[in-house]
A = this chain, B = another copy of it.
């Protein structure tokens, strides 16, 4: 048995912030100095994903300089950090192993995901160097990067067969619901098959439409999780791992000697963070993504329109939890069609959360638009045009508050609405970040209830949760006048959007043909709205945005 003292450094780097990310890693060097090895996540030096920043040769050069700076600070503890390597022609998603002031080795990701939200073939070339092992703290370690782990006959197999005693996967793995179970189940299987411990190191934090949920973990050679970092928060866990001598006396792969066995003082047992329940996990994902989008963009305060409905109530709660109640302003903008209870409910929520508020009725502005319309066009403004007008007056006001105060606007539309286009472009969709754009309406209810239960207190008033949803843009309007009920709508949407089913297949699946026709057409003809919607965090297997890329002009009916 060898004892390897390993630090799993689950950090939250910022894309493009080379200096800041170096600082972040350097600040941990002292803390991990007594370890054999400290592992940071994928592209930890640069942030991830970098997209077309990687097309700038100047950026690649700067990132290599930053790596050299960092390597020069490394001591007895080997550091493994992610960076963009290049050979002058191609760019590689890579890790460097730094030790005692030098870069002692590297590994280039071999399998590049180019599906869903990933465009790695666009921005990277595949590594194709022969595999090798690193002898660190007396243990032969094989490194891979993210997707490499998921490929059945990929480099993991080569490393295992080649004599590795421990596999370390360096990841930038974004969250979607159920993802942590998928990771742990995959790694469990590989551990069991290879009879080796595996360390899975992830990033944490939000980046545009992605949120990295951490949850770094280590399985023992039987596949049991013996260490787990917290989800969604930065953490550096240090643990002593007992590693079996491998059965074959020699490795088939070349071994880079880095450091031999050290005598460590005492023994540090790994800690295991608990798994999270569905809505807790989802709520933390939304909170983290929102917080990081706002703060990493250089803002601190946000505003949002609070209608008295459940969507904006939930977003207000998330924003308040993410940024602190003093950084959130809820704006009530009642129109002539707003109900009294909406205002009362909104006021109760504002009090419960302790956030700031503005009450700005839009009746007068709405009237002036109508009068000017009549005067200039000699006709009345009516119907959907008038409904959209109210939503757009609110959008204009929210943006004006944001402009005047240096706030960001959060939008409050959910995935069910975005899917069927039940929204007004430049109206309720106007803003910087769409917090719940990838949460179906039924999930919005679940989250609101969970938020109340989490504190055993009615933060979001039950009257908001219980009333029938309405846009209140005309007298007595209710969502179910335009749409099927959400418990029918949401499974259909999920199947059409995430399942890529066609109209005919959905009918085969047992959905009502009339509803299928109506909804498929609504989804298809709303693509133009979604294209101009603000970014928002992806929490399902297929979010709108970079994930589901459909043409705008598209006459396929199905």
Chain A residues with CB under 8 Å of chain B are 14-18, 20, 49-53, 55-59, 62, 114-115, 119, 121-122, 206-208, 292-293, 296-297, 358-361, 364-365, 368-369, 371-373, 376-377, 381, 384-385, 388-389, 392-393, 395-396, 399-400, 403-404, 425-426, 430, 432, 500-502, 504-505, 528, 531-535, 548-556, 558
Number of copies of this protein chain within its complex: 2
Give the distance in Å from the alpha carbon of A274 to the alpha carbon of B534 in the complex.
45
Docked-complex contact A49 and B555, CB < 8 angstroms? no
Which single residue of chain B is at the shortest CB-CB distance from A426? B426
> Which residues on B sit within 8 Å (CB–CB) of A372?
360, 364-365
CB of A153 to closest CB in B, whole Å: 17
Once A368-B365, A430-B426 are accepted as A-B contacts, the answer to whether A554 and B53 lie under 8 Å apart by CB is yes
> Which residues on B sit within 8 Å (CB–CB) of A388?
399-400, 403
Docked-complex contact A58 and B502, CB < 8 angstroms? yes
Docked-complex contact B551 and A49, CB < 8 angstroms? yes
CB of A371 to closest CB in B, whole Å: 8
> Which residues on B sit within 8 Å (CB–CB) of A389?
396, 400
> Which residues on B sit within 8 Å (CB–CB) of A505?
58
Docked-complex contact A400 and B376, CB < 8 angstroms? no
Docked-complex contact B16 and A555, CB < 8 angstroms? yes
> Which residues on B sit within 8 Å (CB–CB) of A364?
368, 371-372
Docked-complex contact B17 and A208, CB < 8 angstroms? no
Give the distance in Å from the alpha carbon of A358 to the alpha carbon of B531 in the complex.
29
Which single residue of chain B is at the shortest CB-CB distance from A548? B52
> Which residues on B sit within 8 Å (CB–CB) of A371?
364
Q: Supply 15 further A-B pairs (C-beta < 8 A) apart from A297-B552, A381-B400, A385-B404.
A: A15-B556, A17-B556, A52-B548, A53-B550, A53-B551, A55-B500, A58-B500, A58-B501, A208-B553, A293-B552, A360-B377, A373-B400, A389-B400, A432-B528, A532-B532
Docked-complex contact A553 and B359, CB < 8 angstroms? no
Docked-complex contact B426 and A399, CB < 8 angstroms? yes
* CB-contact partner of A504 in B58, B119, B358, B500, under 8 A: B58
> Which residues on B sit within 8 Å (CB–CB) of A368?
364-365, 368
CB of A297 to closest CB in B, whole Å: 6
> Which residues on B sit within 8 Å (CB–CB) of A293?
552-553
CB of A183 to closest CB in B, whole Å: 23
CB of A266 to closest CB in B, whole Å: 40
Give the distance in Å from the alpha carbon of A78 to the alpha carbon of B404 in the complex.
66
> Which residues on B sit within 8 Å (CB–CB) of A296?
553, 555
Give the distance in Å from the alpha carbon of A262 to the alpha carbon of B540 in the complex.
59
Docked-complex contact A297 and B553, CB < 8 angstroms? yes
Docked-complex contact B426 and A396, CB < 8 angstroms? yes
18 CB-based A-B contacts, threshold 8 Å: A16-B555, A53-B551, A53-B554, A56-B500, A58-B500, A114-B119, A121-B121, A207-B553, A296-B555, A358-B376, A361-B376, A368-B368, A385-B404, A388-B400, A395-B426, A426-B426, A532-B532, A532-B533
Docked-complex contact B56 and A502, CB < 8 angstroms? yes
> Which residues on B sit within 8 Å (CB–CB) of A534?
531-532
* CB-contact partner of A58 in B49, B373, B432, B558, under 8 A: B558
CB of A497 to closest CB in B, whole Å: 11
> Which residues on B sit within 8 Å (CB–CB) of A207?
551, 553
> Which residues on B sit within 8 Å (CB–CB) of A404?
381, 385
CB of A551 to closest CB in B, whole Å: 5
Give the distance in Å from the alpha carbon of A373 to the alpha carbon of B53 in the complex.
41
* CB-contact partner of A550 in B51, B358, B549, under 8 A: B51
Once A56-B500, A533-B532, A534-B532 are accepted as A-B contacts, the answer to whether A15 and B551 lie under 8 Å apart by CB is yes
> Which residues on B sit within 8 Å (CB–CB) of A206?
553
